[in-house]
């Protein structure tokens, strides 16, 4: 989920969730969903575009399901591993 439209390489009108509740308690409209290119070899799919959202969040649960992987967190880094 992000409020930064420039991050997207593909946008579609959203029918996933009409609104999300953001940290200030306001319900904000989800306008689009799409694909964000996180790195040259990694695309994130089904990313929600919420214009009023001031940061970007990654759902670890959704990421591991979509990419059939596991993530191990350490103090200084994390490791992504295919299952």
pLDDT tens per residue, range 21-69: 888 888 888 889 999 998 898 899 989 999 888 889 999 999 999 889 9
The structure tokens listed for 24 are 């200030």
pLDDT of residue 51: 87
| Environment class of 47 (CB within 10 Å of its CB; exposed 0-12, middle 13-18, buried 19+) | buried
* Degrees, nearest 5: CA angle 32-20-79: 80
The predicted model scores a pTM of: 0.80
Confidence of residue 18 (pLDDT cuts 50, 70, 90): confident
In this structure, how many other beta carbons lie within 10 angstroms of the beta carbon of residue 19?
11
pLDDT of residue 8: 95
pLDDT of residue 16: 67
């Amino acid at each position: 989920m992000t409020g930064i439209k420039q991050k997207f390489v593909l946008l579609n009108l959203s029918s996933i969730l009409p609104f999300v509740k953001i940290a200030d308690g306001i319900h904000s409209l989800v306008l689009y969903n799409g694909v964000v290119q996180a790195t040259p070899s990694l695309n994130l799919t089904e990313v929600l575009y919420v214009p009023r959202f001031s940061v970007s969040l990654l759902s670890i649960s959704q990421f591991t399901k979509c990419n059939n992987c596991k993530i191990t967190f350490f103090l200084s880094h994390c490791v992504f591993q295919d299952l």
